[in-house]
Homo-oligomer: A and B are copies of this chain.
Amino acid sequence: MRSPEEAAGSETVGEDDDWEQGNQSDTSCNRIVLLADPWKPCRRSRATVKAWLLKLRCCLGTVCGMEWYGFVALGISMAILSFLMDLIVAKLLRAHQRLYMKLEGNSLLQFFCWTLYPACLCAVASSFSDNICPFSTGSGIPEVRTMLAGIEMPHYLSLTNMFTKFLGLICTLAAGSTVFLGKVGPFVHLSTMVGAYLSNLCTLIQPNKKENAAGEMLVVAAAVGVASCFGAPISGVLFSVEVMCSHFALKHYCPCFFSATCGGLMFRLFSVWSGDGETPQALFKTNFPSALPFYPLEILLFAFLGLLCGAVSCCYLLCHRWILRFIKTNPIFIRMLTTEKGLYSGMVALFLASLTFPPSAGQYMASKLTMKQLLTSLLDSRQWSSRSHNASVQLGPEPLLEWSSPGSPVLSLAVFLLMKMWMLLLACTLPLPAGYFMPVFVYGAALGRLFGEGVAYVASTGLTSGQQWASVNPGGYALAGAAAFSGAVTHTLSPALLALELTGQFSHAAPILLATLLANALARSGHRPSFYDALSISKRLPHLPSLVKACPRLPSTPVGQVLGGKSVQLQKAAGRAEVQHAVNTSSDTQIPVVDSHDSQVILGFVLRSELLMFLRRCTAETLEKHLDEVCCIYPTSVLLSPHNTVQEAHGILSLVGVQTLFVADKGRLVGIITWPEMKRILEDLAKEI
């Protein structure tokens, strides 16, 4: 059964014949061919370069397949992008901070500086991405998930989109903790774009490995996106496993690990080379005590924290679904979000920034801290409440001062949690490139910190038996809360490992895992959609698992009911006219052949390339021949019945790895299912929700 695929592959090469020749014949031969062509400029130097390139390709090809160089290139380029972005964003944030400090004394100017800077950045990001590539807004993870499920969405992988998303994301991140948006989601999307580009490059160099490369690169890119964003390769791979539709192919496992390790390691090395630390370290290195990280009984408290995070995540997801519905039904929002995206973003950012203005409400929620500082301060292992009690003890580093500026830091934490919940939901409606994972992670850390401070307070005041629990570490609770809440919101478990990799803190592995599992269990109960599912449903993406969550009945529709119009088919004894008609009307690579148009018994399929050859031969020989005399009729590998559900058809299409499925009822052809057809079917189903 390999032959038809190989034959189909050979059809699509064509343009790369030059490269192919080099593979078969000597490179010098190729050089002569080039020299003979009088129409190309700088022929000699081009030929030399080409010969060298071909030699290089031969050398590289002896070590391993070209795709592995692609994986290395993907890892390294994403690490460079990530490092560059962090650098630029840090500079922009510092500029804002300095300007704000310079205006000390003049409250009005300070207010304008505080509010207009993020507002302008958001407005710019929004109008920029809207005007250049409207597909670049949002997180990108729902779209990546859809593409990983097999649906092609070329708009989302263009270079324009990459450019827009990168610049837009810099603006969003530079708006700082006021707007409170993150980097992960867009980075995964950026990674898939770079991956798709590199995969095209690899296919250009090695044209005989066409079909698998693009799909594999997408899976790998999802892992690299997370890995290079945080320098966390293992959680990148786990994320890539989780983001798949229903099955993870093991052949992608090693490439994922390899590329993610390259990305993660390079990202950390860049920060070493830029003078930030002596050696590659965790991004948010903590100083948890390693001798006694937690008491065994605290595991129950961690489990309770997991359940708490699960419950809060349910509220959060409910509000998020409500706000998504609201902005799609409210006429004012609809008009704003279709015509005046920049204005809307600017206004919302202005509103959020005026709320977080430090001299007003901002002082109660540590609004001066950036996202990184927020996380670092929350993961601090020292207890806050005890230090605010006895002021004689030396106060901690700056971040803590921010939290405790108006009074108790625990009070600030509570205000932060109350306010940020709805502020974050509002920020999620902004039409600009932004990630929604990191804010949720920080929110979870704050939730865990509050819980941990409570536990530490109770333990230190001696309500428990004696002084046994003197050294409770609230930072551990913050870490567990971050993993549990972000895991519950996204319905994934990889945040647990991400929390470990971000902090390099393995002592809390067991309680963090437990909390994340329990939070997930609560959030997933009742088949509620996750954060990304809600976005997919709201955007009507043809993503099957989201559809199942939204309406379990829909994907069980029999295939027979949703099949498109009559597919093009040929009968065994088709002549030239019929073949010509079929080639003109259909663009599929495999065209089904039936016994006769009356009986409709399916015999197999012919390849489009062979039909074209058949037509050429008929024209040349001016003979009237039948289809089965000239073309090879390949047997169909898998036949579906019209009673199969859409879900089953989707599963078979993605798992078996064929491009065309034939649907036959008792041996008679009913229709064919290809990926574009499947996309149409799913989009139709999504409209019915």
Contact = CB atoms under 8 A, between A and B. Distances in A.
Contact of A644 (B637, B641, B667): B637
Contact of A258 (B2, B296, B517, B666): B517
A603 B643 CA distance: 13
A513 B234 CA distance: 9
Interface in A465-516: 493, 497, 500-501, 504-507, 509-510, 513-514
Interface stretch (A105-113, A135-143, A647-655): A647-655
Given A241-B248, A296-B272, A667 B665 contact: no
A430 interface: no
Contacts of A257: 493, 513, 517
A303 B514 CA distance: 34
B652 A656 contact: yes
Interface in A187-222: none
Contact of A517 (B247, B261, B635): B261
Interface string A222-254: 000000000101100000011011111111011
A636 interface: yes
A514 B241 contact: no
Given A521-B64, A656-B648, A666-B601, A261 B514 contact: yes
Contacts of A667: 601-602, 664, 666-668
Task: Determine the interface band of chain A, counting residues with CB < 8 A from chain B.
Answer: 35 or more
Nearest to A661: B638
Main secondary structure of the interface of A (DSSP, over half): mixed
A279 interface: yes
A1 interface: yes
Interface in A607-663: 635-645, 648, 651-652, 655-656
Given A234-B509, A644-B1, A603 B666 contact: yes
A643 B638 contact: no
Contact of A241 (B250, B279, B282, B640): B250
A648 B635 CA distance: 14
A637 B638 contact: no
A292 interface: yes
Lowest 10 A-B CB distances belong to which pairs? A667-B667, A639-B639, A635-B641, A247-B247, A504-B506, A655-B655, A248-B248, A635-B643, A261-B513, A265-B510
Interface of A: 1-2, 64, 231, 233-234, 241-242, 244-251, 253-254, 257-258, 261, 264-265, 268-269, 272, 278-282, 292-296, 299, 493, 497, 500-501, 504-507, 509-510, 513-514, 517, 520-521, 524-525, 556, 558, 595, 601-604, 635-645, 648, 651-652, 655-656, 664-668
Given A282-B507, A505-B506, A652-B656, 15 more contacts: A242-B253, A247-B249, A247-B655, A261-B510, A264-B510, A265-B514, A272-B296, A279-B296, A500-B506, A635-B641, A635-B642, A638-B644, A639-B639, A639-B641, A667-B668
27 contacts: A1-B643, A64-B525, A233-B509, A234-B497, A234-B509, A241-B248, A246-B249, A247-B247, A248-B248, A257-B493, A264-B510, A265-B299, A265-B510, A278-B292, A278-B295, A279-B296, A280-B296, A281-B507, A500-B506, A604-B641, A635-B665, A637-B640, A648-B656, A652-B652, A655-B656, A656-B656, A666-B667
